[in-house]
């Protein structure tokens, strides 16, 4: 028994005895746990609290591979379901069930001991899997709904023994989540087994006419569909009929090890902890010191080439003939004189570009003395502002 911690209560172990090859369903009822969560002394006061369940195999983080769990909402019961196989017979599985009150954060724990029993009817030789489109898995797991479905199957099959082998949600088989409109369902696969051959009604889907309708995504014509249609909408194109007596067993034989296959050495034996530690100093020298030394040599070579091998202006002039130096010096001297002369150059302003009349008063404007302006500061085309300045500045008072 799992020891309870602070804020957690534990129940006594509960034993169940499912049969191998037969569907196992165990409901985790909220009514069983809600009375364990204070501060509600009465069982009915905590009925609206959200309660979730966590299930795992004792000592492991998850459940056994054959056992599944579903709880649609926090206000609905949880369901453990699955189909145990013959290899689990005689091996009790202890499932730890932890209930969480999502309002008070209280927990309660109990253990479910699953004792799988052997059965002479396992496995049933004829197995049929139906796909029911208008059901969710938790709805199909209800005892009354599953009983109604098995009753309809027994009515069209007429076997002596009929058992539900497994139930699987369509989402676990690659189905898509339905749209939240028109109360659409996810769909569920139900596998049943019987001891007699399949009836003619179940084999109608194998006819060429129905196979053609299925290939065209049309519903096949099944005579016994009306016995299911009132409560269960079956997709007859997805029905699977298996006779395990005709299934050829496949034996996997391992090839003889050749030159490319290593022989088996048994279990892995890890090295002992007394091994000597590895010295990484040589690896450090190879990885860091050698590249650093090469980079340093290249740096000195480049520095010598750039600094010590420079010719300089004096050496260049010594290797240049004197006639070339004199010619180059005279060109520089002439260029400098021309630049100085261009700065002091003065010419008279063309009379054709000067106004003859004052545009405001209409008076005759006397010519401008050429010494008053420099060509470097006088634009060739004047704007209106420069024209007014030119008109007012050069006016002279008449003598006498």
270-285: average pLDDT: 80
Which residue, of 230, 253, 276, is where some domain finishes?
A: 253
pLDDT at 16: 92
* In a shared domain, residues 176 and 213: yes
* In a shared domain, residues 101 and 136: no
Residue 118: band (very low, low, confident or very high) from pLDDT cuts 50, 70, 90 = confident
* In a shared domain, residues 96 and 177: no
Q: What is the CATH number of the domain that holds 68?
A: 2.60.40.10
How many domains is the chain built from? 3
Q: What is the DSSP letter of 372?
A: G
pLDDT at 352: 58
Whether 271 is in a domain gets the answer no
Give me the chain's average pLDDT, please. Answer: 80
How would you class 382 by CB atoms within 10 Å of its CB: exposed for 0-12, middle for 13-18, buried for 19 or more?
A: middle
Better pLDDT: 58 or 351: 58
* In a shared domain, residues 103 and 134: no
Better pLDDT: 264 or 16: 16
Cα torsion 364, 369, 374, 375 to 10°: value is 60
Of the candidates 355, 359, 364, the residue with the CA atom closest to the CA atom of residue 382 = 355
pLDDT at 375: 46
CB atoms within 10 A of CB 136: 18
Tokens found for residue 287: 């990885």
- Distance separating alpha carbons of residues 286 and 292, to the nearest angstrom: 10
* In a shared domain, residues 113 and 135: no
Residues whose CB falls within 8 Å of the CB of residue 60, separated by 6 or more in sequence, listed in order: none
In angstroms, the Cα distances linking 253 to 175, 249, 281 are 35, 13, 51
Domain ranges, residue 71: 1-118
* β strands within 235-378, DSSP E: 240-243
pLDDT at 234: 93
pLDDT for 390 beyond 70? no
* In a shared domain, residues 98 and 128: no
DSSP-derived pairing of the beta strands 107-114 and 8-10 = parallel
Residues whose CB falls within 8 Å of the CB of residue 22, separated by 6 or more in sequence, listed in order: 83, 119, 122, 163, 164, 165
* In a shared domain, residues 85 and 178: no
- Distance separating alpha carbons of residues 93 and 167, to the nearest angstrom: 21
Q: Give residue-wise pLDDT tens across range 292-312.
A: 999 999 999 998 888 877 777
pLDDT at 297: 95
367-391: average pLDDT: 49
* In a shared domain, residues 90 and 114: yes
* In a shared domain, residues 131 and 221: yes
pLDDT at 7: 42
Of the candidates 85, 90, 95, 104, the residue with the CA atom closest to the CA atom of residue 34 = 104
pLDDT for 8 beyond 50? no
End-to-end alpha carbon distance in the chain: 137
- Distance separating alpha carbons of residues 109 and 36, to the nearest angstrom: 10
Residue 212: band (very low, low, confident or very high) from pLDDT cuts 50, 70, 90 = very high
Residues whose CB falls within 8 Å of the CB of residue 81, separated by 6 or more in sequence, listed in order: 23, 24, 25, 26, 67, 68, 69, 70, 137, 141, 167
* In a shared domain, residues 129 and 225: yes
Which residue, of 219, 253, 287, is where some domain finishes?
A: 253
pLDDT at 365: 59
pLDDT for 9 beyond 80? no
pLDDT for 184 beyond 70? yes
pLDDT for 31 beyond 90? no
pLDDT for 196 beyond 60? yes
Tokens found for residue 42: 């009465």
Whether 302 is in a domain gets the answer no
* In a shared domain, residues 149 and 242: yes
Tokens found for residue 328: 């180059």
354-363: average pLDDT: 63
pLDDT for 72 beyond 60? yes
- Distance separating alpha carbons of residues 375 and 379, to the nearest angstrom: 8
Q: Give residue-wise pLDDT tens across range 321-356.
A: 888 878 888 998 899 888 888 877 655 555 555 666
Which three-class secondary structure state does DSSP give residue 324?
helix
């Amino acid at each position: 028994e799992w020891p309870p911690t602070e804020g957690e209560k534990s129940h006594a172990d509960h034993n169940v005895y499912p049969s191998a090859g037969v569907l196992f369903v165990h409901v985790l009822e909220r009514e069983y746990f809600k009375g364990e969560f204070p501060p509600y002394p009465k069982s009915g006061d905590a009925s609206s609290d959200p309660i979730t369940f966590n299930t795992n195999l004792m000592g492991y983080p998850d459940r056994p591979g054959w056992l599944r769990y579903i709880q649609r909402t926090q206000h609905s019961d949880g369901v453990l379901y699955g189909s145990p196989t013959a290899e689990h017979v005689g091996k009790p599985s202890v499932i730890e069930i932890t209930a969480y009150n999502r309002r008070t954060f209280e927990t309660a724990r109990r253990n479910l001991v699953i004792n799988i029993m052997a059965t002479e009817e396992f496995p049933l030789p004829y197995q049929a899997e139906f796909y029911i489109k208008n059901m969710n898995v938790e709805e199909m797991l209800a005892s009354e709904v599953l009983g109604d479905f098995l009753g309809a199957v027994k009515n069209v099959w007429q076997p002596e023994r009929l058992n539900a082998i497994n139930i699987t949600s369509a989402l676990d088989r690659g189905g898509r989540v339905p749209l939240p409109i028109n109360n659409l369902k996810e769909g569920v696969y139900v596998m049943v087994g019987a001891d007699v051959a399949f009836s003619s009604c179940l084999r109608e889907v194998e006819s060429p006419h129905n196979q053609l309708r299925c290939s065209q995504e049309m519903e096949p014509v099944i005579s016994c569909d009306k016995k299911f249609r009132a409560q269960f909408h079956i997709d007859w194109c997805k029905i699977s009929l298996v006779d395990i007596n005709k299934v050829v067993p496949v034996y996997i034989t391992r090839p003889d090890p050749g030159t490319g296959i290593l022989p088996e050495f048994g279990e892995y034996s890890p090295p002992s902890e007394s091994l000597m530690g590895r010295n990484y100093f040589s690896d450090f020298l190879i990885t860091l010191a050698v590249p650093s030394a090469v980079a340093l040599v290249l740096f000195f070579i480049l520095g010598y080439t750039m600094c010590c091998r420079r010719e300089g202006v004096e050496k260049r002039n010594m290797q240049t003939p004197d006639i070339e130096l004199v010619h180059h010096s005279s060109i520089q001297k002439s260029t400098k004189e021309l630049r100085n002369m261009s700065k002091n150059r003065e010419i008279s302003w063309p009379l054709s570009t000067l106004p003859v009349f004052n545009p405001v008063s209409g008076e005759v404007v006397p010519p401008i003395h050429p010494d008053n302006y420099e060509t470097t500061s006088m634009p060739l085309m004047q704007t209106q502002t420069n024209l007014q300045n030119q008109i007012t500045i050069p006016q002279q008072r008449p003598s006498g």
